[in-house]
Amino acid sequence: MATKKILMLVGGEYHPFDQCSEMVSSSLEATGRYQVTVTTDLNVLRAGNVGRYDAVLGYTDGRDLKKDQESGLVNFVKAGGAFIGLHGAAASFAKNAAYIDMLGATFASHDAAFEFPVTPTAADSMITRRVQPFRVFDELYILDKFQADAVEVLATAMWKGKAQPMAYTKSYGKGRVFFLALGHDARALNHPEVQKLLRRGVDWTFGRKEVKTMKSGVIGYGKSFKMGQHHIESMRLAGFEIAGACDLVEQRRIEAVEDFPGIPTYASSRQMLEKSGVELATVIVEHNIHAKLVIECLNAGVNAITEKPFCITIDEADAMINAARKNKRMLSVFHNRRWDGDYMAIKNVISSGMIGDVFHIEACMGGYDHPSYWWRSEKKISGGAFYDWGAHVVDWTLGLVPADIVEVSGYFQEKRVWFDVTNEDHCSATVRFANGCSAFIELSQIAAVDKPRWRILGTKGGILDYDDDKFRVVSYRDGMRTDATLKYIDSDWHAYYRNIADHLMLGEPLVVTPESARRVIAVIATAEKSSKAGKALPIPKHCA
């Protein structure tokens, strides 16, 4: 679809239009499908002006439209244009009957902003496909003159025992109208589900079609933690059609059929890629062959995911990314732990500003235990002790700091206690960021005393987490000291494949990009080099 031009009309008294219009514009333009022009000038709605655009996005409040402004907008939509009403669009132009008729409702009232649940109600709509119920801090709009018979309600929120429409679509002449009642300020507009509904609503007004399903499969069914079973189940829940499971070992292929009766199985990756019709393959094998199999998938024209870690070396990461770009296919890594409840809760606290700007992070996992006898304990296959849980911890840490990496210092302990395996006994790294933040990450099999899983310091507070379903937050925001205990939120590992489906079938942004996965590998690989060199080292510029 060619780039569409959207006119975003803002203005009024009760909303932070400058900040919010920037957020909306950035979210829409990040898709590569839209170019947004922001204005407060109502004269752009006149017949001779509005036709230069493909859609009008209204994010206003109050005000009145002159007759030629109203007729210009209404006739534009009737003739096949698109109108997207966001939040205050329903609280705008109350004296303009034709505008209200086009929008399908007008604002009646709202109470003070608070956190409330939003429930998708139209499972068959591309706008709400795979969207889960969510909570948002916003104004809950009550609508008047609501044209219930003329719209399709997509999401609702409860107000005093009655479901209130939060999102709906409507046909108007030859044009289309989408209204989203959410979005009072940055707290709401920064919510990923709100952004998703808005992007998809815009897509719908332009008639953009979704891909209903795609064929997927796994390479390496394996018995380790039953990961093959987990991946396939998560794929199915996201709407993928399961086209096959591949494993070199016959018993594991038998187990796949026992878990998923009727599933086609294959004894080699080449066989599955050639015969199954698979469009997405997830590689679940030993770390040292991730890159080889992923590149094989990509060169076969198949979108690819690898279990973490992404790979072992930066050169492998570069080769994988280059293959994805060359073949114009998606590439990602299964960093499902971004949706762990503790991590999401910590991110929420940081994004709220409760602890200010983060300048120091300590992340620690480990104990005093033998690492067991299997391939994950052998450096040639696993890459080393930092490549297992360490890949998750590094990914988490990088997700908390919005800045480039300046340098990495590594401190590895080898053959200090466990001589019968080849992985390191203890690995740690200090990562220094361009914004002045430093992070210390530790993974250990010889830590005889424990320490917090997370200790995070900000300019206005800090977080302490001992991994026991809750964490402590101390805040000095607004000049007042608070000391609170916050519970983790619910983990949602299936969200990873929902995003993969949204990306491949609806063109949504990919959350776990290959570039972000390469940064993790760059930190781990550079930490090992630093430990051997005895000094801090920069990571390659393209990985920073």
Q: What is the pLDDT of residues 55-68, one digit of tens each?
A: 999 999 999 999 99
Q: State CA 214 to chain mean position distance.
A: 20
Which of 389, 330, 391, 366 is closest to 451 using CA atoms?
366
Q: Distance (Å, rounded) from C-alpha 429 to C-alpha 528? A: 9
Return mean pLDDT, the chain.
95
Instruction: Assess contact for 449 and 323: CB atoms under 8 A.
Output: no
Counting residues of the chain whose pLDDT is more than 70, the rounded percentage is: 99
Where residue 39 falls among pLDDT bands split at 50, 70, 90?
Answer: very high
Read off the pLDDT of residues 402-433 as tens digits, 9 standing for 90 and up.
999 999 999 999 999 999 999 999 999 999 99
The DSSP bridge partners found for residue 157 are 164
Compute CA distances 104 → 100, 111, 252, 375, whole Å: 6, 22, 56, 62
Helix H or strand E segment including 136: strand 134-138
Cis peptide before 120 (omega within 30 of 0): no
Read off the pLDDT of residues 361-389 as tens digits, 9 standing for 90 and up.
999 999 999 998 888 999 999 999 999 99
Q: Distance (Å, rounded) from C-alpha 352 to C-alpha 360? A: 17
Looking at the chain, how many residues does it have?
544
The DSSP bridge partners found for residue 143 are 107
434: three-class secondary structure by DSSP: coil
Instruction: Assess contact for 285 and 224: CB atoms under 8 A.
Output: no
Which of 180, 120, 210 is closest to 507 using CA atoms?
210
pLDDT at 225 over 80: no
**How does DSSP assign 358-415, residue by residue?**
EEEEEEEEE-B----SSGGG-HHHH--GGGTHHHHHHHHHHHH--S-EEEEEEEEE-S
Instruction: Assess contact for 189 and 20: CB atoms under 8 A.
Output: yes
Q: Distance (Å, rounded) from C-alpha 194 to C-alpha 373? A: 47
Q: Compute the Cα dihedral for 240, 246, 247, 252 and give only its sign.
A: positive
pLDDT at 223 over 80: no
Helix H or strand E segment including 303: strand 303-306
Q: How many C-beta neighbours within 10 Å does residue 79 have?
A: 11
pLDDT of residue 203: 96
Instruction: Assess contact for 153 and 120: CB atoms under 8 A.
Output: no
Counting residues of the chain whose pLDDT is more than 90, the rounded percentage is: 95
pLDDT at 1 over 70: no
Read off the pLDDT of residues 161-200 as tens digits, 9 standing for 90 and up.
999 999 999 999 999 999 999 999 999 999 999 999 999 9
Q: How many CA atoms lie within 13 A of 489 on its CB side?
A: 14
pLDDT of residue 456: 98
Read off the pLDDT of residues 466-516 as tens digits, 9 standing for 90 and up.
988 999 999 999 999 999 999 999 999 999 999 999 999 999 999 999 999
pLDDT at 123 over 90: no
Residue owning tokens 């399709």: 152
Read off the pLDDT of residues 145-160 as tens digits, 9 standing for 90 and up.
999 999 999 999 999 9
Compute CA distances 105 → 91, 144, 152, 543, whole Å: 9, 6, 13, 49
Domains of the chain, CATH where assigned: 4-205 (3.40.50.880), 215-336 (3.40.50.720), 338-543 (3.30.360.10)
The DSSP bridge partners found for residue 82 are 55, 176
Q: Distance (Å, rounded) from C-alpha 193 to C-alpha 347? A: 16
Q: How many CA atoms lie within 13 A of 503 on its CB side?
A: 20
Where residue 224 falls among pLDDT bands split at 50, 70, 90?
Answer: low
Query: What is the mean predicted confidence (pLDDT) over 125-150?
Result: 95
Q: Distance (Å, rounded) from C-alpha 67 to C-alpha 56? A: 17
Read off the pLDDT of residues 65-87 as tens digits, 9 standing for 90 and up.
999 999 999 999 999 999 999 99
Radius of gyration of the chain (CA): 26
137: three-class secondary structure by DSSP: strand
Q: Distance (Å, rounded) from C-alpha 76 to C-alpha 117? A: 35
Q: Distance (Å, rounded) from C-alpha 369 to C-alpha 359? A: 32
Query: What is the mean predicted confidence (pLDDT) over 431-444?
Result: 97
Read off the pLDDT of residues 447-475 as tens digits, 9 standing for 90 and up.
999 999 999 999 999 999 998 899 999 99
pTM higher than 0.75: yes
Which pair of structure tokens corresponds to residue 9? 């009309």
